[in-house]
């Protein structure tokens, strides 16, 4: 006789349209389909569970943005729960799967440092995840000998007009101390868009004067209006999938303990998954270095990387000797002209692989690699993976 399918509840605040909610659900649902689970969306599972053990429970396990009430009841009922909310007040009491926010902060810092920037700003708020990534970002840029100023903002920006205006005024005062070119990391696309608007009012160019990485790759907010925002793809689908995988193990262990009258197992460790990558768009797609010759050369590379260009072409475009320009590149960027051309092409290809279903041949041609074979060779050498493997990282397991 076939075993009865497991009943699993998801409690993920799906009424909110954030990617971190919907994508986690999508990843968990993919695993559920593979295992033949019966999943139920129950946003009030913490209220619906019995307070004390009964003969039967409505669910075999729960994937949740866990509340303290859910943690309390699950503990009494010996019901497996996997938490996916890093800031949950019950986070330390439950097994969980989360993005590695500190690793995300380090990745963004390295991305902006690669643009030749020496001055930085990072925004944080009263949120454990945001504070973790802001601290890691600041640590990386300061270790590189660069300055970093830190600003703060409330968790909710638009609960009232007065709060919104207060934050705008605080931002205006904070930006008074910036000395362009500067690289900025903002935790949300909403704040990133506000920074862009304030830069326009100051006649600061994005990205030449202010390079911005913001948010969690919410596509609509990142891509519109211009300039499009570079953002951090955390891989929330993978979080959901791995949370479901962890729950499967916990349900199996519970079943084994029940059949053998074994004691409760110790709490499993929490899992922190590294980010996928920085999705490079217009807000960082040119480098804001202090050297005007380098800036001009970088703008030429950005506009012409799809063509067959080399270091001599770049030097000729900015009216400089090749050796002179090469020295400027090494001083400000720490790499030669050819390496920068290759980097820009890789970034373009990565963006196409992540955001489109175009063929590798089309992407290779538009990014300046010429052929899919050459694209494959460069990805393997520079990134250690194939273009197809990079694309699958975005699609989830």
The three-state secondary structure class of 120 is strand
Question: What would the pLDDT profile of 233-285 be if each residue is shown by its tens digit?
Answer: 999 999 999 999 999 999 998 877 654 444 455 666 799 999 988 888 889 87
Q: CA–CA separation, 82 vs 94, rounded Å?
A: 7
What pLDDT does residue 7 have? Answer: 94
- String of DSSP letters for 236-286: HHHHHHHHHHHHHHHHHHHHHHHHHTPPPPPPPPPEEEPP-EEE--GGGSS
What pLDDT does residue 396 have? Answer: 54
What pLDDT does residue 122 have? Answer: 95
What pLDDT does residue 397 have? Answer: 52
What pLDDT does residue 279 have? Answer: 87
Assess if CATH 2.40.30.10 describes domain 7-99+236-276. no
Across the range 309-319, mean pLDDT stands at 93
Query: Is 50 exceeded by the pLDDT of residue 74?
Result: yes
Specify the fold of 101-232+278-284.
Answer: Rossmann fold (3.40.50)
Q: Residue 270 is encoded by which pair of tokens?
A: 């929490």
- Domain extent listing, the chain: 7-99+236-276, 101-232+278-284, 292-395
Q: What is the CATH code for 292-395?
A: 1.10.10.60
Topology agreement, domain 101-232+278-284 and domain 292-395? no
Cis peptide bond N-terminal to 253, omega within 30: no
Query: Is 90 exceeded by the pLDDT of residue 95?
Result: yes
- Residues whose CB falls within 8 Å of the CB of residue 385, separated by 6 or more in sequence, listed in order: 379
What pLDDT does residue 348 have? Answer: 84
DSSP single-letter state for residue 6: P
What pLDDT does residue 344 have? Answer: 86
Question: What would the pLDDT profile of 180-216 be if each residue is shown by its tens digit?
Answer: 889 999 989 989 999 999 999 999 989 888 999 998 9
Question: What would the pLDDT profile of 103-137 be if each residue is shown by its tens digit?
Answer: 999 999 988 988 878 899 998 887 889 999 999 99
User: Nearest to residue 280, comparing CAs of 333, 210, 207?
Assistant: 207
Q: Residue 83 is encoded by which pair of tokens?
A: 């938490």
Across the range 87-93, mean pLDDT stands at 91
User: Nearest to residue 393, comparing CAs of 273, 224, 248?
Assistant: 273
Element (H, E) at 36: none
Q: CA–CA separation, 343 vs 114, rounded Å?
A: 10
Considering the chain, what percentage of its residues have pLDDT values greater than 70? 93
Q: Are 360 and 372 in contact (CB under 8 A)?
A: yes
Q: Residue 373 is encoded by which pair of tokens?
A: 């074979």
Q: CA–CA separation, 84 vs 81, rounded Å?
A: 10
Please tell me whether the overall predicted TM-score, pTM, comes out greater than 0.85 for this model: no
Q: Residue 2 is encoded by which pair of tokens?
A: 């076939």
Considering the chain, what percentage of its residues have pLDDT values greater than 90? 51
């Amino acid at each position: 006789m076939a075993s009865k399918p497991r009943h699993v509840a998801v409690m993920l605040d799906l009424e909110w349209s954030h990617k971190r909610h919907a994508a986690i659900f999508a990843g968990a649902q993919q695993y559920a389909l593979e295992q033949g689970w019966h999943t139920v969306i129950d946003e009030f599972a913490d209220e619906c569970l019995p307070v004390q053990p009964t003969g039967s429970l409505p669910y075999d396990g729960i994937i949740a943005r866990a509340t303290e009430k859910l943690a309390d009841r699950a503990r009494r009922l010996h019901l497996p729960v996997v938490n996916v909310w890093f800031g949950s007040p019950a986070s330390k009491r439950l097994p969980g799967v989360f993005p590695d926010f500190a690793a995300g902060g380090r990745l963004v810092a390295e991305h902006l440092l690669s643009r030749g920037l020496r001055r930085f700003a990072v925004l944080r708020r009263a949120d454990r995840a945001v504070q973790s990534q802001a601290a890691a970002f600041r640590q990386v840029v300061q270790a590189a000998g660069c300055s970093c100023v830190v600003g703060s903002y409330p968790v909710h920006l638009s609960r009232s007009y007065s709060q919104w205006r207060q934050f705008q005024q605080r931002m205006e005062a904070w930006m008074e101390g910036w000395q362009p070119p500067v690289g900025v990391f903002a935790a949300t696309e909403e704040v990133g868009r506000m920074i862009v608007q304030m830069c326009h009012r100051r006649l600061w160019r994005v990205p030449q004067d202010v390079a911005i990485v913001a948010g969690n790759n919410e596509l609509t907010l990142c891509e519109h209006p211009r300039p499009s925002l570079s953002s951090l793809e955390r891989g929330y689908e993978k979080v959901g999938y791995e949370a479901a995988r962890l729950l499967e193990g916990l349900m199996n262990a519970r079943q084994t303990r029940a059949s053998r009258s074994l004691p409760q197992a110790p709490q499993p460790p929490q899992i922190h998954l590294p980010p996928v990558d920085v999705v490079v768009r217009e807000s960082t797609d040119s480098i804001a270095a202090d050297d005007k010759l380098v800036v001009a050369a970088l703008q030429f590379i950005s506009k012409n990387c799809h063509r067959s260009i080399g270091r001599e072409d770049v030097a000729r475009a900015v009216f400089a000797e090749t050796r002179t320009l090469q020295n400027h590149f090494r001083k400000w960027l720490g790499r030669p002209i050819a390496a920068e051309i290759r980097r820009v092409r890789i970034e373009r290809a990565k963006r196409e692989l992540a955001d489109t279903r175009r063929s590798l041949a089309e992407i290779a041609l538009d990014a300046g690699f010429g052929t899919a074979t050459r694209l494959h060779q460069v990805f393997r050498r520079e990134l250690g993976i194939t273009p197809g493997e990079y694309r699958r990282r975005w699609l989830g397991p």
